[in-house]
Amino acid sequence: MPETLLEIKDLECPRPNGDPIFSHVNFSVREGDILIVQGKSGSGKSTILKCLSHLNIYRGEVLYRGKGPKSYGIPFYRTRVLYVPQRASLLPGTPRDFMSAVTSFSSYNKSDGGKPKKGKAPTIAHETIELAESWGIDEELWDRIWSNLSGGEMQRIALAIAVGMRSAEILLLDEPTSALDPDTASSVEEFLKSEIKRSESNLKALIWVTHSEEQGRRVGTRFTHLSSGGIREEDGDSIV
Ligand SMILES: Nc1ncnc2c1ncn2[C@@H]1O[C@H](COP(=O)(O)OP(=O)(O)OP(=O)(O)O)[C@@H](O)[C@H]1O
């Protein structure tokens, strides 16, 4: 039986006025899962990813390997359950600045309960640039400020950084290929699917928000629908 990585119990996210965006959200994520999240615009798909990465307030429980984010320390937790936003345009500086800052954080460099980290910062940077290059990103783009990159360039660079950091066991992907052409999207999809299966990879599962049913079917292993009343797996069962 694959190990359970995340357990979400009775999650509810309130709006500023107190009304919940969604409530009674229960599900778990196991090793090997590519969990597709679909739902109407405004149903809370981005919000649920932010709750899982502890970037949004919520009620209920989020457990990673049986423990809450605070017991790991939030910065460390976020390197393991890593949110990849739809748009990185609000970040200051360039992608290279961002990558240097992230790889210098102690939470990123901390080893996991004695388990040696695979890879070291200098080689990670090189691999990350190569990965982005395989998706059509020239190295010069790493030195351009985020807001001067196209939406598709931002998406590929943000994803390459998330994978290249090699710290995450779960990536929370918010429409990661929405700005990409079909061929590039397909190459990103194939890479992520193979990375989940590769035994030496730290990456063990994906939660993938997409509006495209076709994409969901191409990449997903489990299919869910989010609405204000909770989350349901495609067969209609609640997914605990
Ligand atoms: N900071 C905020 N303050 C107030 N309301 C918010 C805030 N962030 C999100 N919301 C509201 O919460 C709801 C869920 O937003 P969210 O972006 O999670 O939806 P979504 O399902 O990802 O939408 P889409 O498919 O359009 O990207 C929306 O009604 C949105 O307006």
CATH number at residue 69: 3.40.50.300
Cβ-based burial of 92 (10 A; exposed 0-12, middle 13-18, buried ≥19): exposed
Per-position pLDDT tens, the chain of length 240: 789 999 999 999 998 888 999 999 999 999 999 999 999 999 999 999 999 999 999 999 999 999 999 999 999 999 999 999 887 767 788 999 888 887 776 555 555 543 444 444 444 578 899 999 999 999 999 999 998 999 999 999 999 999 988 889 999 999 999 999 999 999 999 999 999 999 899 999 999 999 999 999 999 999 999 999 999 988 644 444
Amino acid at residue number 17: N
Q: Residues in the chain, how many?
A: 240
pTM of the model: 0.90
Which residue is listed with tokens 């495609």? 234
- Is residue 219 one of the residues assigned to a domain? yes
Residue 38 Cβ < 6 Å to ligand 1: no
Phi-psi region of 92 (alpha: psi -120 to 50; beta: other; left: phi over 0): beta
Amino acid at residue number 156: R
- Is residue 143 one of the residues assigned to a domain? yes
Q: Which helix (H) or strand (E) holds 60?
A: strand 59-64
- Is residue 125 one of the residues assigned to a domain? yes
Phi-psi region of 236 (alpha: psi -120 to 50; beta: other; left: phi over 0): left
Q: At what angle do helices 151-164 and 182-197 cross, to 10 degrees?
A: 10
- Domain total of the chain: 1
Residue 199 Cβ < 6 Å to ligand 1: no
Q: What residue's CA is closest to ligand 1, atom 17?
A: 46
DSSP-derived pairing of the beta strands 4-14 and 230-233:
unpaired
- Is residue 238 one of the residues assigned to a domain? no
Residue 227 Cβ < 6 Å to ligand 1: no
Residue 39 Cβ < 6 Å to ligand 1: yes
- Is residue 240 one of the residues assigned to a domain? no
What are 10's two structure tokens? 């009775």
Q: What residue's CA is closest to ligand 1, atom 6?
A: 15
Residue 45 Cβ < 6 Å to ligand 1: yes
Do the beta carbons of residue 11 and residue 197 sit within 8 Å?
A: no
Range of the domain at 33: 4-233
- Is residue 239 one of the residues assigned to a domain? no
Residue 18 Cβ < 6 Å to ligand 1: no
- Is residue 28 one of the residues assigned to a domain? yes
Q: What residue's CA is closest to ligand 1, atom 13?
A: 42
pLDDT at 104: 72
Do the beta carbons of residue 32 and residue 38 sit within 8 Å?
A: no
Do the beta carbons of residue 156 and residue 150 sit within 8 Å?
A: no
- Is residue 185 one of the residues assigned to a domain? yes
